[in-house]
Structure 1
C-alpha cells in the first residue's frame, strides 16, 4: 500500500512539474544532501531520493516519462515546480562543487535531454525575462504600424492646413 501511495504522489508531482532532473549520487554526504535540498526548495523545487522502479511506474503517461532513459543506479530526482532554468543553474553549480552528485539527464515539457545540455539551459535568462523579450518582439510591429498610420493622418492634416492657409492668403 505504501508503494502505491508513493507512486500516486510522485505521478502528481510529475504532472505539476515544469521539469525533472535525474541525478546519481555516490558518496553523497548527509550535509551535502541537506544543502542541495535547501537550495532547490528556495528556487521552487524538490530534491527527492526514490527507488528506480517507483520512478518508472510513476512517470508512465506523464510528461516526465523520458526520464526513464536516465534512471539507473542510486537515483535522486530534482523536480522543478516553477522555473526549470533557475533550478538548472543551482543544480549545475552544486554539481561542479560536489562531484559526488552527477546529472544523468533531464526532461522539460516532455522532452528528454542528455546531461551535457544543461550547459545550454543555464545560459537562458529567467522565464520572466524571456516572456518580456517575446512580448516586446510581438509589440514592436504593432507599435510601428500605429506610428505609420498616425504619420499618414498627421501629414494629411498638414496638407489640409497648408491648403487652408493658401486659400486664406489668396482670397
Structure 2
C-alpha cells in the first residue's frame, strides 16, 4: 500500500504524462547540485518541466494513462524525466543540447503518444529544424502547391468558356444598341 506522499506523486506523474506531448527520460546520476540547478534552469527556459522520479511510480503512472504499448524496461536505473507540453521538437532539442554538452547526463529514452522512443529517435526529433510549427507549415505547403495547380487546370476550361460567352454577349449587346 503506497503512502500518502507516494500516492500524490503517482497522481502528479499521471496528470503530467497525460498532458505531455513528449516525455524524455535521462540519467543524471553523478550530477552536482550546481549542474542540476543549471539543467533545471535550461529546461524551464525551453518550457520543459523537469523532475526526478522513482521508476516504480513512473511505471504505475504510465499504466494509469493506458500506455499499454510502452516498454516498461525503460524504467530502470536512476531516472529524471523532462515533460514537454507544447512542442515535442523544442523539448527534444533542449534535452539533446544539454546531454550533448554534458559528460554525465545520459539520454535514456522517450515516450511519445504512449509509445517508447529509443534515444536515437529522440535525437532525431531534436534534429528537426524549425520546430513543430515550421514542420506543419512545410507539410501544408507541400500539399497546397500541387492542389492549387490542379484547381487551376480544372477551372481553366470553365473560366475560358465564361470569357467567350461574355465577349459574345458584349458583341450582341453592342449591335442591338445601334
Fold equivalence (TM over 0.5) = yes
Is 1:54 aligned with 2:86? no
CA distance in 2, matches of 1:164, 1:19: 64
CA distance in 1, matches of 2:124, 2:66: 21
* SS class of match (2:153): helix
TM-score under structure 1 length normalisation: 0.84
Which 5+ residue runs of structure 1 have no aligned equivalent?
none
Is the 2:56–2:75 Cα contact (8 Å) retained in structure 1?
no
Which 5+ residue runs of structure 2 have no aligned equivalent?
none
Of 78, 103, 111, which aligns to 1:99? 103
Counterpart position of 1:129 = 134
* SS class of match (2:51): strand
Is the 1:67–1:107 Cα contact (8 Å) retained in structure 2?
no
Deviating above 4 A after TM superposition, structure 1's stretches of 4 or more consecutive aligned residues are 162-165
CA distance in 1, matches of 2:77, 2:29: 9
> 1:122-141, CA deviations, whole angstroms, 9 ceiling, x for partnerless residues?
22231111221232234334
* SS class of match (2:64): coil
1:10/1:19 CA distance change after superposition, 3 Å = same
1:63/1:108 CA distance change after superposition, 3 Å = farther
CA distance in 1, matches of 2:123, 2:55: 26
Counterpart position of 2:152 = 147
Counterpart position of 2:120 = 116
1:157/1:54 CA distance change after superposition, 3 Å = closer
CA distance in 2, matches of 1:112, 1:102: 17
Is the 1:23–1:75 Cα contact (8 Å) retained in structure 2?
yes
TM-score under structure 2 length normalisation: 0.81
> 1:130-165, CA deviations, whole angstroms, 9 ceiling, x for partnerless residues?
221232234334422432244223322444437976
User: Could you tell which deviates more after superposition, 13-22 or 24-33?
Assistant: 24-33
Of 24, 31, 35, which aligns to 2:38? 35
